Amino acid sequence: RRARSRSPPGVASARAVGTDLALHFGAGADQDNILLVHSTILRIASPVINRMLETGMQEQQLMRILVDTNVASMKEFEEFY
């Protein structure tokens, strides 16, 4: 695992500013497997994610998407995103 940089108390992380969607990679709630993203960017890039977030599905209600790591790893997604 790679180390994540932490911002000083009271200072927003550049990665978290304005994010409104959490991608959870794999099972469990391990914070190292969560990627905070901007839903608008993903909705433009993916018709599937756009549909998930506009139809009142669980993902839209919770603003969380569980990502099957057999489909894409967090590293692969970060490279795309």
Distances (CA, A) of 80 to 7, 29, 40: 24, 23, 15
Q: What confidence score (pLDDT) does residue 56 get?
A: 85
Q: Report yes or no: 69 and 26 within 8 Å, Cβ to Cβ.
A: yes
Q: What confidence score (pLDDT) does residue 39 get?
A: 93
Q: What confidence score (pLDDT) does residue 3 get?
A: 44
Residue with tokens 């911002």, as numbered in its chain: 7
Its pTM surpasses 0.95: no
Q: What confidence score (pLDDT) does residue 12 get?
A: 55
Per-residue pLDDT of the chain (81 residues; tens, 9 = 90+): 444 545 555 555 655 678 999 999 987 667 789 999 999 999 999 999 999 999 888 999 999 999 999 988 999 988 877
Q: What confidence score (pLDDT) does residue 10 get?
A: 54
Distances (CA, A) of 77 to 5, 30, 42: 19, 17, 11
